[in-house]
Structure 1
Amino acid sequence: MSPIEARIRDRHATVHSLLAQGHGIREIARELPMGGNTVRRTARASATEELLSGRHQPRPSQIYPYKPHLDKRWAEGFTNALHLHAELQDLGYGGSYQTISDYRRPRRRRRVRVVAPPHHLASGRSLAA
């Protein structure tokens, strides 16, 4: 059980215990470090699972359907995010440039940078000569 789940279970038990003793929502909110709406939502839930369901389920981003296209273009060497954004807009993408840039960032960091050798090594001469 995660710490958040444990806290929600404890909070649910405490709120329902205080409600059973006749305390009101405002009184419980003042007594516990909780907002009134949180107390109200917790009071309405007959079981803790009602509070836990649907938590931590990320929604797919707007870029999700276009990721295969982006990955293909990246593999082809096409890495300019502004141009990729324009391409995706032509395909129906309605999101921002920043989303594309953020998606590309980890790939840019893994890219191997080729550095030209120092001039004296490139000409074939050695330093001793």
Structure 2
Amino acid sequence: MICRDHARYYAEGADRGAGTATQVADRHHLWANLGDATERLVARLRSQWVPPAPEKEKVVPSEAPEGRRVRRTRERHAAVHALMDKGMGHSQIVAELGLDPKTARKFMRAATVEELIGDRRTGRQSSLDGHAAYLIARFNEGCHSALRLHRELTERGLTVSERTVRRFVHRLRENAKPATRPPVPKVREVTKLILTHPDNRPESGRVLLKQLLHRCRELDEARELIARFASILVHRRGQEDLEQWTTDAQASRLQELRGFATGLRKDWDADMAGLTLRWNSGPVEGHVNRIKMLKRQMFGRAKLDLLRKRVLLTS
């Protein structure tokens, strides 16, 4: 028995060196090859299964956004009157909020914050009061460039600095409610969900996969074929089911799985043996991984003679 992967040189070497041996395709490599094909398939179909982006919400404030100074005034007024409601006096409020005594007294005397703000809701943006509606409309249309908006205002005959326009646009962005998009799963994440046994998928993964399969029928078709192949591989039912599976895969509209099935045909005897007999390359692969681990541990630290001793003594 010779266990190997699909590399042509392994097959040629086995034919030349042991022509009467039964060649067995390693199941680990068969599953890895199918996994690579699945990842390419998922990547190709990404535009179909990716969650749709929500519609962007426009910023439609009834008036120009408030400046930082106005917002701070509102916050201080609310804080001062909250302490007053608790029974605190002037000196206690000054100590609690760290305000200047005159400032604290002014806030205490104002019954409403509107008495302090007056007509200066937009802070230092008074030069834009007559053009705020135009700027908001242009912002909602998708023009978020302060430089371009400044140029348009200049063409409308308004003399205003670019810095003033930039501050106004910045406050519009702060007031805008950004459109939230559901997280987009990565190609490898979706591939892993498809290749994982249904009983081992987390609940969140099952819900996500169900949503993706609903959006993309081809992905659902691929999942069904892959699940069938996994059952053949695990239960070694090559003699009973491999022929039908390969025929179905080659007849599907999934070019990646058609290519995988064509590869099975090219090395049919070894693949049939791998999916029927108990032999596999597991012990060999385990030794190879152990040697690679030892090599990485010693990278740049020792020479080949010590590596040789470690490999032999731990066998």
| Length-normalised TM-score, structure 1 | 0.46
Q: Which has the larger radius of gyration?
A: 2
More helix by share: 2
| Length-normalised TM-score, structure 2 | 0.21
Instruction: Identify the structure with bigger relative contact order (alpha carbons < 8 Å, sequence gap 6+).
Output: 2
